[in-house]
């Protein structure tokens, strides 16, 4: 079972990562054309967002299991 401190730290880390991705996505959208490396980075960000979503779901489930 994951302890509350770990979960809190992990949530803070994920929030920072989401903020970073949000900034990168805004920059990506602000350009009308993209290099191959920009497109690849954008795709990687999308994949990371899906992994974060799954991890948040897992953390939520862990918290629900801990609740009395």
pLDDT at 57: 92
- pLDDT tens-digit readout, 5-36: 888 899 999 999 999 999 999 999 999 999 99
Q: Domain span at residue 36?
A: 4-66
Give the residue, 55 or 65, on which the prediction is more confident.
Answer: 55
pLDDT at 26: 97
Mean pLDDT, rounded, for 36-54: 97
Domain count of the chain? 1
pTM (2 d.p.): 0.81
pLDDT at 2: 58
Residue/partner pairs of 36-41 with CB below 8 Å, 24 or more apart = none
Dist. CA 8–CA 26, nearest whole Å: 27
């Amino acid at each position: 079972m994951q302890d509350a401190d770990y979960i809190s730290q992990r949530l803070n880390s994920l929030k920072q990562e989401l903020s970073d991705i949000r900034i990168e996505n805004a920059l990506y959208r602000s350009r009308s054309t993209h290099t191959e490396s920009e497109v690849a980075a954008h795709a990687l960000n999308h994949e990371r967002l899906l992994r974060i979503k799954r991890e948040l779901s897992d953390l939520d489930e862990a918290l629900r299991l801990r609740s009395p």
